[in-house]
């Protein structure tokens, strides 16, 4: 840090200390734990003991500043010595006036001078708890022995400081992280964030290049609305200013209230994705454009209503009808259907505002999806009222309205064609329900597609969209993985979580067909485990519908990023890759070859799959699939692999945290020894913390496997971060939206 940064850092730490210490100007252990925000008290106690150089069981500001100064500005040896003292647990039992290690003007209380296996095991166990990683005791022993045997060079039964230092030198990235973590302990928030001025993202050439289709489309959309507005105003110039504004907004509403429907013609858009149109129009942004048009409708309708209100104020002053008669009665005769324009306009304004409010992210993401779902169905009444309200609206509506109606009729026919049943259910960690549905005979889809599903036993009239997680090449069944995040998904999970006694009791072998219709359709016929069972539950499926991931096989280098349950479209894609790159063995000899059934659409040369999970259990959702993918590539050299996987666990302490260094070293050593990761059981090592996207995409760019396309499914906040990085590197970015 510079002198200026040092001064600001010193001032900030002093203020923080004073706010915590209170009147006594000292920090005790409990206050220290609160300040460090550690999950596991072991590390707080060790750090506290090392900072408390005089053994008073409190830390003064002077002691804190000296310790932090050494950790930030000290030599590499100083920082390693501190790490060694943390691991030398015996030091907690010694008198502070005994052995001390002195550097410069600060003293670390010393321990026994060596680390034995039990001490190392204690530290690693605390590391696991801090990282929210659960491993069997036997695996903890293996981790301890792996690190201990590697560090104990002289086989003396203990690790000295010099041996630990030599071991750390085998992990250069750990040495770098040690420096970073020490400097990050009590760093002022603004110190790292202070950067030079940068060009706003929306003004960079990369942004305009990567969003050219969307920006051109929005430009054309804006120009068209402006043209409609001006034309309508000029045609009604004799009515005065407010009348002109009302007519201009009304003409824009005619267009937008029809266009908002066109953007949701899912079957037509799915078909267009297979044509050249996808290279011209931003079809993959249809949901975003639908939302933007919705906001435009609210804006134009508010302006339209306000302009008419002001015009009615003017008319009421020069006619026999009062203002309230113009607004709430049909007496003035305004409108082409018995003077109902004012009344229908007021109702439309209220309905449109309610639809937009109920469609907000807050409502949809806070477990109230049903509010969004049912309020959005009022579009039928909105269109009906628009036809009554405006004499010309039907001319805009008739063609797309007929197409929309045909789409709905086809959807109803397809979804009710033949009986579909959920034949198997697997309840996975983090309240994820894995449904296995008997696949219809003529149901064809592509990897990454989604369907709408209706399960009458859960909600008779509700349809919800979910990505298909099975491969198209899987002939007999469809898979859906559904995370419990709202009322319907929670009811689904609880429905299949019932004990057998509650569900099986409804089965009657001698029941008549009429009685069966009144029974619950879930008939458990076999139970494979506590959370895995066969069943026979009636359902309806509408789809499939296409998504941006349909373009993956036309890419050269694809980067698939799934956050949590966002892996589902990529599970389908990865399984499809297995089928397309299937390995065959000759029955008469040991020769094997890749069937390589690439079709004309298959241009892929490399796939990087990145899966980010909050906790350890979430990896269980698709661990069998990922294991199979690794086995298919087991004989290939790492640099020549078609598919490369990267796993990240965000609850685990990242490598720039000093508390995690020993654990990460042990996990690395044991993974090399056993050739599998201790957290997931895969060969791919699970990385702690969050990806450093700059480094990830820099590595992808350096591979030079062709044009890079990044496909993402997960939380919107992370999508913005990844999209910004893609723009920086010139990668195409696609976000799963439906």
Is the pLDDT reported for residue 548 higher than 60?
yes
Give residue 499's pLDDT band: very low, low, confident or very high (50, 70, 90): low
Q: What are phi and psi of 183, to 5 degrees?
A: -75, -20
Burial label for 51, CB within 10 Å (0-12, 13-18, 19+), is buried
Radius of gyration of the chain (CA): 32
Q: If you average pLDDT over residues 6-14, what whole number do you get?
A: 69
Q: How far apart are CA 444 and CA 553, in angstroms?
A: 17
pLDDT higher at 476 or 185: 476
Q: Is the pLDDT of residue 111 over 70?
A: no
- What is the residue-averaged pLDDT of the chain? 79
Element containing residue 258 per DSSP (H, E): helix 241-262
pLDDT beyond 70 at 178: no
Q: Which of 275-284, 318-327, 392-401 has the highest mean pLDDT?
A: 392-401
Q: Specify the pLDDT at position 352.
A: 92
Report the alpha-carbon distance of residue 573 to residue 558 in Å, rounded: 11
Q: Name which residue leads in pLDDT, 59 or 70.
A: 59
What is the rounded CA–CA span in Å between residue 180 and residue 658?
9
Lowest mean pLDDT among 183-197, 334-348, 424-438: 183-197
Among 167-171, 196-200, 431-435, 478-482, the range scoring the smallest mean pLDDT is 196-200
Give the mean model confidence (pLDDT) for residues 370-385.
Answer: 87
pLDDT tens, residue by residue, 141-156: 988 898 888 888 888 8
Lowest mean pLDDT among 333-342, 488-497, 505-514: 505-514
Bridge partners for 466 per DSSP: 451
CA dihedral 47, 50, 54, 56 (to 10 degrees): 30
Class of domain 3-94+108-183 as given by CATH: mainly alpha
Q: Do domains 418-497+529-545 and 549-583+600-650+690-736 have the same CATH topology?
A: no
Distance of alpha carbon 78 from its chain centroid, rounded? 40
The domain 549-583+600-650+690-736 having CATH identifier 3.40.190.10: the answer here is: no
pLDDT of 177 above 80: no
Span 660-679, pLDDT tens digits: 778 888 888 888 888 888 88
Q: Give pTM, 2 decimals.
A: 0.76
Instruction: Report how far residue 652's alpha carbon sits from residue 679's, in angstroms, rounded to the nearest whole number.
Output: 11
pLDDT at residue number 588 = 59
| pLDDT value at 598 more than 60 | no
Q: Could you give the percent of the chain with pLDDT greater than 70?
A: 80
Res. 295: pLDDT tops 90: yes
Instruction: Give the domain ranges of the chain.
Output: 3-94+108-183, 207-413, 418-497+529-545, 549-583+600-650+690-736
pLDDT value at position 589?
Answer: 60
Residue 71 CA to residue 55 CA, distance in Å, equals 20
Query: Regarding the domain delimited by 418-497+529-545, which CATH topology (the fold level of the hierarchy) does it fall under?
Result: Elongation Factor Tu (Ef-tu); domain 3 (2.40.30)
CB 559 within 8 A of CB 722: no
Model confidence at 549, pLDDT cuts 50, 70, 90, reads confident
Q: 554-588: per-residue pLDDT in tens?
A: 788 999 999 888 888 888 888 887 777 665 455 55
Tokens of 221: 């959309």
pLDDT at 294: 93
Q: Determine which helix (DSSP H) or strand (DSSP E) holds 584, and give its type and residue range.
A: strand 583-585
235 compared with 59, residue with greater pLDDT: 235
Separation between Cα atoms, residue 464 and residue 298, nearest integer Å: 26
For residues 602 and 598, what is the distance between their CA atoms, to the nearest angstrom? 5
Contact 408, 400 (CB under 8 A): no
CA 227 to each of CA 4, 191, 348: distance values in angstroms, whole numbers, following the listed order = 57, 50, 24
For residue 252, the model assigns a pLDDT of 95
CB 433 within 8 A of CB 427: yes
> Bigger pLDDT: 722 or 514?
722
> What is the Cα–Cα distance from 214 to 445, expressed in whole angstroms?
26
Q: Choose from 102-116, 172-186, 488-502, 609-623 the range with maximum mean pLDDT.
A: 609-623
The answer on pLDDT for 191 being more than 70 is no
Which is more confidently placed, 350 or 413? 350
Per-residue pLDDT tens for 16-39? Answer: 777 777 666 788 877 777 766 655
> In this structure, what DSSP letter does residue 425 have?
E
């Amino acid at each position: 840090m510079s002198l200026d940064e040092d001064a600001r850092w010193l001032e900030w730490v002093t203020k923080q200390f004073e706010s915590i210490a209170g009147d006594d100007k000292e920090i005790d252990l409990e206050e220290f734990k609160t300040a460090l925000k550690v999950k596991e008290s072991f590390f707080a106690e060790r750090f506290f003991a090392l900072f408390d150089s005089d053994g008073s069981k409190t830390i003064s500001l002077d002691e804190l500043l000296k310790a932090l100064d050494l950790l930030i500005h000290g030599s590499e040896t100083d920082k390693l010595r501190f790490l060694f003292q943390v691991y030398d647990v015996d030091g907690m039992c010694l008198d502070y006036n005994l052995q001390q290690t002195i550097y410069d003007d600060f003293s670390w209380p010393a321990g026994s001078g060596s680390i034995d296996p039990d001490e190392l095991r204690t530290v690693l166990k605390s590391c696991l708890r801090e990282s929210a990683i659960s491993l069997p005791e036997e695996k903890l022993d293996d981790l301890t022995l792996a690190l201990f045997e590697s560090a104990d060079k002289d086989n003396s039964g203990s690790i000295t400081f010099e041996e630990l230092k030599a071991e750390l030198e085998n992990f250069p990235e750990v040495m770098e992280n040690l420096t970073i973590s020490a400097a990050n302990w009590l760093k002022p928030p603004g110190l790292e964030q202070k950067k030079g001025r940068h060009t706003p993202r929306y003004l960079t050439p990369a942004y305009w290049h990567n969003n050219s289709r969307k920006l051109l489309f929005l430009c054309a959309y804006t120009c068209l609305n402006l043209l409609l507005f001006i034309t309508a105003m000029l045609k009604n110039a004799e009515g005065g200013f407010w009348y002109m504004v009302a007519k201009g907004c009304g003409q824009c509403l005619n267009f937008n209230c029809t266009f908002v429907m066109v953007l949701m013609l899912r079957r037509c858009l799915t078909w267009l994705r297979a044509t050249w149109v996808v290279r011209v129009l931003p079809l993959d942004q249809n949901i975003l454009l639908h939302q933007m048009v919705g906001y435009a409708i609210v804006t134009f309708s508010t302006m339209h209503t306000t302009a008419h209100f002001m015009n009615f104020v003017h008319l009421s002053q020069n006619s026999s009808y009062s203002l309230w008669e113009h607004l709430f009665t049909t007496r003035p005769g305004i409108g082409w259907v018995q003077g109902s324009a004012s009344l229908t306009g007021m109702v439309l304004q209220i309905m449109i505002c309610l639809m937009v409010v109920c469609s907000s992210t807050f409502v949809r993401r806070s477990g109230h999806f049903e509010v969004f779902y049912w309020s959005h169905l009022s579009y039928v009444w909105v269109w009906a009222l628009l036809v009554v309200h405006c004499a010309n609206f039907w001319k805009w509506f008739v063609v797309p309205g007929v197409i929309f109606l045909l789409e709905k009729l086809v959807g109803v026919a397809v979804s009710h064609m033949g009986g579909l049943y959920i034949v198997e259910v697997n309840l996975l960690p983090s309240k994820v329900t894995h449904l296995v549905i008997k696949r219809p005979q003529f149901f064809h889809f592509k990897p990454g597609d989604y369907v709408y599903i209706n399960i009458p036993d859960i909600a008779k009239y509700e349809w919800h969209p979910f990505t298909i997680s099975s491969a198209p090449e899987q002939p007999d069944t469809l898979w859906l993985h559904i995370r419990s995040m709202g009322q319907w998904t929670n009811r689904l999970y609880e429905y299949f979580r019932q004990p057998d006694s509650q569900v099986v009791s409804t089965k009657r072998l001698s029941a008549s067909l009429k009685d069966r219709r009144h029974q619950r359709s879930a008939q458990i016929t076999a139970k494979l485990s506590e959370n895995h069972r066969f069943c026979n539950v009636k359902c309806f499926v509408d789809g499939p519908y296409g998504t941006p991931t349909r373009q993956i096989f036309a890419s050269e280098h694809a980067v698939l990023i799934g956050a949590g349950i966002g892996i589902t479209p990529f599970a389908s894609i990865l399984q499809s890759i297995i089928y397309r790159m299937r390995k065959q063995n000759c029955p008469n000899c040991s020769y094997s070859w890749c069937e390589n059934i690439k079709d004309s659409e298959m241009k892929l040369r490399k796939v990087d799959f990145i899966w980010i999970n909050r906790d350890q259990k979430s990896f269980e959702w698709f661990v069998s699939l990922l294991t199979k993918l690794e086995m298919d590539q087991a004989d290939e050299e790492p640099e020549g692999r078609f598919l490369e996987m990267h796993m990240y666990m965000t609850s685990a302490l990242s490598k720039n945290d000093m508390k995690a260094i020993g654990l990460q070293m042990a996990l690395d050593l044991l993974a090399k020894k056993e050739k599998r990761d201790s957290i997931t059981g895969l060969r791919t090592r699970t990385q702690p913390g969050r990806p450093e996207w700059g480094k990830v995409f820099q590595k992808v760019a350096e591979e030079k496997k062709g044009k890079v396309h990044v496909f993402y499914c997960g939380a919107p906040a992370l999508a913005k971060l990844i999209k910004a990085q893609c723009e920086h590197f010139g990668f195409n970015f696609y976000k799963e939206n439906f």
